[in-house]
Each structure stands twice: as structure tokens, then as C-alpha cells.
């Protein structure tokens, strides 16, 4: 009984911490897309570096043939010396990845508001098409409570039948939130 009470208490504390305002803010720095099956064509506008562009998916992304994995890196000084971080996404089907990890992006890319990318609907297969992204700023609401400051790079590798068909490299800058 004590273990159940402890578990409930820890769950409530974690939920409370996730709902607190984050002490940091983030903005896009760069986005490099390579490959032919999943192609993000983006640009950043204004001082806020708002994301605008499109996502072109050239084939239906089914859970049998298409997989994705991701690693993250941090560069506190900004000198280009990125260090591997423990935040990662293990190799898994694109459908499973969208289901498990979309929570971290849904506040930034709001379906029906500033994008029509259907990840929020959890389709499988993910349908091919040309999707838009408009005036998206990074929202950290669903991110971990503590994040390292400086440059943060995420690299996702897409595979089809275990052959790399594309990568996405996104760099953001994380800094203390200004009052």
C-alpha cells in the first residue's frame, strides 16, 4: 500500500512540474533536410525565427518498411563542439515514433492552426502528400523541465527496408526565459 501511495505522490509531483512555466525558451537556428522520402523545405522568418515551409512525403510511410531513430547533441559554448546527450529515440517504425514522440512537437505545430501535418491524428500509414507549416515558434510546454542552455541539435535518420533514405538535422538555441 505504501508503494502505491509513493507512486501516486511521485506521479502528481511530476505532473505538477510539467505544468509549471519553463525557465527557458527556445528558437530555431537551422534545419537541414536530406533525402527523398521525407523532405522538409523550411525557412525562418523574422527576429523570432518563425518556421515556415512544407513537408513533402513522397510515399505512404507504413510501419513495416519505414523506420526512424534520433539522437540529440548539446553545445553549450556555441563553438561547434557538440556532445551526445542521453535524449534519444531508439530505432522504431515511423508510426510508433509519431505516436510516442509527437507530444514534444504538438504545441509548436498545432494541427489545423499552423499545420496540416496529420501526426496529431496518429494515422498509420502516414499518407504521402505535401503539408504546410506556417508561423510556428518553438513552444516548450511539453518538454522536460530542465534543459541545457546553448545550442541543441537533433538528428533523425529515416530508413526504408533498413537503408537510409533521409536525415533531418535541426538546431535550436535554448536560453533563459526573459521576464
pTM: predicted TM-score of the whole model, two decimal places: 0.81
**What is the per-residue pLDDT for 53?**
92
Q: List pLDDT tens digits, range 30-78.
A: 999 998 898 999 999 988 899 999 999 999 999 999 999 999 999 988 8
- The mean pLDDT value of the chain amounts to 86
Question: Helical H runs in the chain?
Answer: 2-19, 94-101
Higher pLDDT, 164 or 104: 164
Q: Which residues of 21-44 are buried (b: 16+ CB within 10 A; e: fewer)?
A: ebebebbbeebebebebbbbebeb
122: left (phi over 0), alpha (psi -120 to 50) or beta: left
Cis peptide before 125 (omega within 30 of 0): yes
Range in 14-23, 62-71, 129-138, 170-179 with the lowest mean pLDDT: 14-23
How many percent of the chain have pLDDT more than 90? 48
CATH class of residue range 2-176: mainly beta
Count CB neighbours of 65 within 10 A: 16
- At residue 16, does pLDDT exceed 80? no
Amino acid at each position: 500500500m505504501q508503494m502505491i501511495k509513493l507512486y501516486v505522490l511521485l506521479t502528481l509531483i511530476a505532473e505538477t512540474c510539467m505544468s509549471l512555466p519553463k525557465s527557458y525558451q527556445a528558437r530555431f537556428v537551422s534545419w537541414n533536410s536530406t533525402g527523398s522520402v521525407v523532405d522538409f523545405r523550411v525557412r525562418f522568418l523574422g527576429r523570432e525565427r518563425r518556421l515556415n515551409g512544407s513537408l513533402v512525403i513522397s510515399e505512404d510511410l507504413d510501419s513495416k518498411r519505414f523506420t526512424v531513430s534520433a539522437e540529440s547533441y548539446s553545445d553549450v559554448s556555441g563553438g561547434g563542439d557538440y556532445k551526445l546527450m542521453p535524449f534519444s529515440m531508439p530505432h522504431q517504425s515511423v508510426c510508433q515514433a509519431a505516436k510516442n514522440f509527437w507530444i514534444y512537437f504538438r504545441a509548436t505545430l498545432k494541427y489545423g492552426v499552423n499545420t496540416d501535418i496529420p501526426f496529431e491524428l496518429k494515422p498509420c500509414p502516414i499518407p504521402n502528400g505535401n503539408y504546410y507549416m506556417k508561423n510556428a515558434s518553438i513552444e516548450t510546454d511539453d518538454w522536460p523541465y530542465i534543459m541545457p542552455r546553448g545550442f541543441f541539435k537533433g538528428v533523425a535518420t529515416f530508413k526504408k527496408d533498413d537503408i537510409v533514405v533521409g536525415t533531418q538535422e535541426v538546431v535550436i538555441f535554448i536560453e533563459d526565459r526573459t521576464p
